[in-house]
Chains A and B, each alone.
Chain A
Amino acid sequence: MNVLVTGATGFIGLNLLHALDEGATGDGTIELVAMVRPSTSTARLPEGTETVEADLRDPDSLRAAMVETDADAVVHLGAAVYETAEMAGTNTVGTENLVDAAAEAGVDRFLFVSTIGAHPDVPADAGSPYQQSKVESERLLFGREHPFEVSALYPTYIFGPRDYRLTRYDVVRIIAANRVLVPPLYTHDEYNVVHVADVVDSLIHCLTAERGGAAGRHLVTGPNLSNGQVLRTIARHAPGSCTVVGVPYALTRWGIKPAMDLLYRVGVSPVPGEGFLERGDFGTVAPPLESQAPVEQHPWERALADTVAWYERVGLL
């Protein structure tokens, strides 16, 4: 099966390509072709990865890529995640261009990695342009008839190796460097953590399942976790001696917040106390939706441990 992968040099794409390169399917039934823009570096791809140049914003290039790779399936991971200005063109129009090219080329399966907030059972964050762009793609993929089978994954907050954008580095670094006096160490955040390998395994499952067996939507969620659980687990795996001190919310509210305001006013603290009252939500879901995936999952602790290990291996810890 020839599979065209968009976003191949991104976080999930690299993990998918490396997993298959390391023999994830146990045989050679899946041949991945990385779709890359002409300017993209391919240095991080596994050695010998086949590539084809195309751009989501250029329909002709997509049609040519489909023909050149003789694609049986498309794994669509390419998206602008942080660049708001590019989201409409790359995420919404780009997905439509890709769907059209895939239909024209007669591919059998179309796999899409969405985000938890775009799942119909999860309230979307109207303030997030990224989530809104994924909701648009949702309508395109499931609101229309297609000549191919559509599978979509809805992961929560993904941790794992090959995070070349350092999207999780801040939270790991503050633990490894024993941050004090500065949020978010004492805030009451919540996380829903999944291992990037769960997303990769789910993609492979959707590619290799019997036809019809993996069509539709799949949550890829872990358990909801407190900030303390996440930070202490990172501390256990980070190099050096890292200490995470738990602070009850009442103490934050009545003690730390006013004390930090005072320290801020006299120029000792770099931030005022307000930040300690923030309650960040990183992908949490309603309890019935916790720990779901079409495949057997890795423990959430492993997701954090593997992230820390990767940062350490590449020299960031």
Chain B
Amino acid sequence: MTALAVGVVGAGWMATDYHIPAFSDHPRTTVVGFAERNDDRREAVAAETGLPGYADASALVRAHDLDVLSICTPPSTHEPIFLEAVGHGCHVLCEKPLATTAGSARRMADAADEAGVVTQVGYLHRYYENYRRALRLLDEHLLGDIVEVTVAHHSAPPSQGWYYDPALSGGGVARDLLPHSLDVLFEFLGPDPTVTDASVRHLRDRAVEDAARVSLEFDGVPVTLSTTWTQTEGVSRFMVVGTEGWLELDAERLEGDVFGRPFAFEGGRLPIVDLGIADLFPANDEDAHTARIHDFADHAAAGDLDTAAPASRGVAVAEVIDAAYETAGVDWEGTGAETDTPRTESGQ
């Protein structure tokens, strides 16, 4: 069985730490080349990996008969690269956010549908064992009916400059961090949220917001999301309250109770020993990035369009973020970012 030929666009840390190694390790894929605009970086990565490097995605696509294109570039570049890839019949793994606006995301999803290629957006959370387990518990209605959900996602300000240029990023921390949580919310609360409130703040003198709060309603279930770029090692936490119990989780720990009976996991695992005064858990060596790339590779190799988060999920996520910006009174027009009328109704 021949392996699928993979090209990786953008040779930042995400590509060199995860995409290139993960596609190289997977038995059904092999990396044949990469594209990187920065000459020094391109030469360094070419020397390090032994792969041919190209100055842009078009050159990479022209030079190889690719089956898969993996996109690790800033958001504003996703659409043209994505459209070119699906035009060549490539399956596409695209880092989040899929696009800087819902309109852009929609064009990408439509093109992928028409081409019949496998797509996935790089949402990470669901590939942590704790999230897999929590999604199973919720899918089995262990908490009864969901009463409310609270999400907090705080992370250190990114080092790359493009994050702070709305023309390249499509927004600030809301566009950057909320997609991971929204993907999980869509998974267990259904497809049709309404933005009921949203606000943004500028904690530092930046062109984009670095703090945002969004309130959603999924079929009557209120959800609150709070996200910031602040000096922290990073925390991303869900708390779900149901009529019969609750659970709270981040990537490390999942705990909760049902009718007062507690459960707890770390890295998706039960303790190896429960001493009463302490639960002892095994070391957690999970690698969610590799897991998501391998999951996409499995789907691409099987021609299975039903990935965990196809481009249509990227559209739904972008619609919520567009609506949140609109509700918060943020207009990226004039900043170079494309604007687009959101489908999702905004409450204010």
Contact = CB atoms under 8 A, between A and B. Distances in A.
Given A170-B261, A176-B270, A179-B274, A43 B136 contact: no
Decide if the interface of chain B is mainly helix, strand, loop or mixed.
loop
A43 B145 contact: yes
Interface in A247-273: 268-271
Nearest to B261: A166
A240 B273 CA distance: 11
Nearest to A174: B274
Contact of A314 (B142, B244, B275): B142
Nearest to A315: B136
Contact of A166 (B136, B243, B258, B273): B258
A165 B258 contact: yes
A169 interface: yes
B137 A180 contact: no
B299 to A, nearest CB: 23
B144 interface: yes
Contacts of A317: 270
Contacts of B141: 41, 43-44, 164
A178 interface: yes
Contacts of A313: 140
A174 B262 CA distance: 12
Contacts, number: 77
A105 interface: no
Interface in A89-138: none
B263 interface: yes
Contact of A177 (B134, B136, B270): B270
A173 B263 contact: yes
Given A164-B244, A177-B271, A315-B142, A270 B276 contact: yes
B186 to A, nearest CB: 18
Interface in B227-254: 243-244
Interface string B125-157: 000000001101100111011000000000000
Contacts of B271: 177-178
B242 to A, nearest CB: 9
Contact of A240 (B145, B258, B272): B272
A240 B244 CA distance: 28
15 contacts: A41-B141, A41-B243, A43-B141, A164-B141, A165-B258, A173-B263, A174-B274, A177-B271, A179-B276, A181-B275, A240-B270, A314-B142, A315-B142, A316-B142, A317-B270
Interface of A: 41, 43-44, 82, 164-167, 169-170, 173-174, 176-182, 239-240, 268-271, 313-317
The 10 closest A-B pairs by CB, nearest first: A315-B136, A182-B276, A270-B276, A314-B140, A177-B274, A166-B261, A179-B274, A177-B271, A315-B137, A41-B145
